[in-house]
Amino acid sequence: MSTLPLASRARRAAVPVVLCAGLTTMLGGCAEDPDEGTNGVGKLGAPAIEEKAQSAADAAKAVRLSGTLVSKGGTFKLNMRLKKDGAAGSVTTKNSTFELLRVGEALFLKADAGFWAHEGKGGATPDASDTEAADKLDDKYVKVPEGDPAYKQLRGFTDMNLLLDGLLGLHGEVVKGDRDRIGGVRTVKVKGGQEGEGGTLDVSLDGTPYPVQFARGGGAGVVVLSEWDKDFTLAEPAKEQTVDYGKQLPKT
């Protein structure tokens, strides 16, 4: 069996390389196209990707938002399903967890007795009357009066437009980041600043270019956005499950 001279073998080995180099110019390369099968936003510049994601979010009728927010008031863990006319879900703080339900402008708060039992001066144990009152509210939906100072604060956790506007804004020069996969969804990152100090937004490369995840700058929390445009039913709780204090909530 004859063997090819070394020079001839080298020329044969070089043929695929030359062909690939030539095809690179015409077809964009022999490597797999990272945008094949995507919605195409990965080919856009950072400002255009951000605009596409914002437009998709603005047009959506519903979304699930879950994750952690860090603010001067503390750390909040959210798991909320939101739509234009209401929301349902839970909020966890350092000391407690409570549920929120908003149907139109009617806002309800549900928590256990420990949430409602307030400490006395100097952190003293709640007295008998406080404990008794708290027990009556245990696992009940308490209607939050619109005139109560807590209404505006709690309603903010249930306002889809307010939350998305406050969470999805990037600060600083917008730059394009790496590709990633969040919960099985292919994404492209858009960052505020070179290191993401102004926030990092992951935008879906699958289907509609919805925001999939947002990491706030300075370690101020990460939220995941899913179930975009999936409607869900909202209804006020039954009267036997509801407590209405009228104009003001009990202290807590």
**Residue at 126 is within a domain:** yes
Q: Which band of pLDDT confidence, cut at 50, 70 and 90, is reported for residue 251? A: low
Q: What is the 3-state secondary structure (H, E, C) of 134-145?
A: HHHHCCEEEECC
The whole-number pLDDT of residue 3 equals 52
Give me the domain span that covers residue 141.
41-232
On whether the CB atoms of residues 170 and 54 are closer than 8 A, the answer is: no
**Residue at 238 is within a domain:** no
The whole-number pLDDT of residue 34 equals 80
**Residue at 58 is within a domain:** yes
CATH number reported for the structural domain that contains residue 200 in this entry: 2.50.20.20
**Residue at 75 is within a domain:** yes
Q: Which band of pLDDT confidence, cut at 50, 70 and 90, is reported for residue 247? A: low
Residue 133 vs residue 169, higher pLDDT? 169
Residue 159 vs residue 245, higher pLDDT? 159
Q: Which of 68-72, 177-181, 212-216 has the lowest mean pLDDT?
A: 68-72
For residue range 78-124, what is the model confidence (pLDDT) as tens digits?
Answer: 999 999 999 999 999 888 899 999 999 999 999 988 888 765 444 55
**Residue at 176 is within a domain:** yes
The whole-number pLDDT of residue 102 equals 98
Number of domains the chain is built from: 1
**Residue at 249 is within a domain:** no
**Residue at 17 is within a domain:** no
Does pLDDT of 189 surpass 60?
yes
